[in-house]
Structure 1
Amino acid sequence: MSLSTPVADLSWTWDDGVRVSATSDPHSPVLRRFFDGYDRAFILPDEREEFDGFVQCLALNETHRNAYGRRHCEVAMAFEDADGVLLGGANFLAATTAGDAPAPATVALNYVYVEAAARGRGLLRRILADVRRTALSVLDLDPDGPAPVLFIEQNDPLRLTAEAYAADSDHSGLDQVDRLAIWARIGARVVDFPYVQPALSAEQHPDDGLIYAAISYPGDAVPAALLRDHLQSFFGISVLKGEAEAPGGPAAQQLDALAARADPVALLPMAPALARLAATPRPDFDFFRDLAREACRHGDQGTGA
């Protein structure tokens, strides 16, 4: 694979015939194909990005390639079988890191989905592997070098209203807690930081009902400077779409807090908290992050990590 310019399409085929298409071009039909499945998969109002929002993000590949002193590329991917049936999709922002870091790049995995009919085949792990490889390619990094660090937002089951919990679970066919267990098995750990997603548009609201997690990170804590750089890129491009945030907004507050922080940000295993949720579906915690910290502090044992 090679994608040496910030606007291009590429494709390849897995050994079993699955065709993968990736684009960083806002006018590519690959973006529309990704959106076909995305539009079915994501329904909660403050998590949804409309098609024009994706177009805006990919258009920033022309203007924000070297924003913040680092390289960036926003990408959409579609995965189809040999007959053209959509199996899954992913949208992410890849960014190089500055200074002494455990990896050459980070990936904000903005959205990833596997169609209901294609589940149970191990597709999610394969999609994530292709996301990592594509990220290295679009950033012009050594394909045989260290893998990028993946970060992802996930619904916090303790923050969702009962109505939103039921609606999203029924729509996706996956319970919110079961969904977290899948990610725990893939290697996701909770970033122990009070994360808030800024509003995706003027019509939406900031979202504090999300868990921020790192996937297969090579360590027990993330340097605050690395997390700040990553969130600066993610907020500036994928969320705010190159627009300035109002002074004192949630993005600025989080970036300022990380800039002032000397100690690294701990990563919390999910499995102990999930075990507590299985035993006590209504624990006395407002955030899953707090439950995960408490479960780790008391040495709870859990399965699935």
Structure 2
Amino acid sequence: MPSPQLIDLRDNPSPALLAAFEDLYTRTFTDPAERENPTQWPPRLYGNLPAPQPRMHLLVVVDGPPATTHLLGGIAFEHYRDSHCGLLTYLVIAPEFRRRGLGRQLIHGALARLHQETRAHGTELCGVFAETEDPDKVGANDNAMAPRERLTALARLGARRIDIPYVQPALEGGSGRCRHLLLLAFHPHTDAIPGAVVRDFLHEFYRALGIDAPQADVDFRAMERALEGVAILQAL
């Protein structure tokens, strides 16, 4: 197999690769509460919406020239400019190409681009977050990948858990608030991050999803209380 190549569709638009990613995404993320409507992606991927809306990137890995439509996997991620944070939203690898290091390659590529983009805005990246299903709250049925298997894979890639009562606001095109997710952080060189960093990200994230006043939201206030001081990063 030729050496895999990474392509950021924000800088190199490809309708064929975007469609291939959407297909793999739809088959991987089967929980309606965790899924966005992909028709909402192009304005965020190719435009420059004002904050709190994030700048979206879609990094895909292919096994040939950039014009190929043979997608091996990809990662969608977002840059939240007010809080100087990133969110890794959807990591997908085609089943036949798993366990080949592509997930690590994609995450490292996403982190590098988030660092580059924040520096281009005159600041440094404060935090990088992700979400995944809590195996203690969901079963393996109807999932393309068992939650505990996914958690183990993310731990190998450097993710750790932030112990707060995390609630994801309703996604556009989703089925309501999601209360069975864990909030993860990718911070390999420290065991804790300032609670204010996580709080500021969540405040912007909630506003981006239509919660105009997060400080008046019951779920946000519960997380804010848990983030006083520092946020301890726990092994998965």
Q: TM-score, normalised by structure 2?
A: 0.81
Segment of structure 1 superposing worse, 133-142 or 214-223: 133-142
Q: CA deviation at 1:72?
A: 4.8
Please report how far the alpha carbon of residue 249 of structure 1 lies from its aligned counterpart in structure 2 after TM superposition: 7.1
Q: Give the corresponding residue for 1:24.
A: 10
Q: CA shift at 1:133, angstroms?
A: 1.6
Q: What are structure 1's unaligned runs of at least 5 residues?
A: 1-15, 99-104, 271-305
CA RMSD of aligned residues (A): 3.2
The one of 59, 64, 67 aligned to 1:77: 59
1:265 to 214, 217, 231: 231
Flag structure 2 segments of 5+ consecutive residues without an equivalent.
none
Q: How far did residue 89 of structure 1 move?
A: 1.0
Residue 253 of structure 1: CA displacement? 3.8
In structure 1, the residue matched to 2:100 is: 121
Is this contact kept in 1: 2:198–2:227, CA < 8 A? no
- 2:168 aligned to which of 197, 215, 222: 197
State the 1:45 CA deviation. 1.0
Distance in 1 (alpha carbons) for counterparts of 2:108 and 2:173: 34
Equivalent of 1:184 in 121, 137, 155: 155
Aligned to 1:276: none
The answer to whether the 8 Å contact 2:56/2:78 transfers is: yes
For residues 3 and 124 of structure 2, the distance between their equivalents in structure 1, rounded to whole angstroms, comes to: 27
Structure 1 residues 72 and 255, CA, compared in 2 at 3 Å: closer, same or farther? farther
Aligned residues: 230
Distance of 1:18 and 1:148 partners within structure 2? 30
Tell me, in whole angstroms, the C-alpha distance in 2 between the residues paired with 1:199 and 1:50. Answer: 12
1:135 to 2:114 alignment = yes
Report how far residue 17 of structure 1 moved.
3.0
Deviations 1:195-220 (A, max 9, x none): 10011137621001001111234322
- Percent identity reads 27
Please tell me whether the aligned partners of residues 63 and 71 of structure 2 are also in contact (alpha carbons under 8 angstroms): yes
Q: What residue identity is the alignment partner of 1:129?
A: H
Relative contact order (alpha carbons < 8 A, sep ≥ 6): 1 or 2 greater?
A: 2
CA distance in 2, matches of 1:203, 1:132: 26
After the TM superposition, which parts of structure 1 deviate over 6 Å for at least 4 consecutive aligned residues? 145-148, 246-249
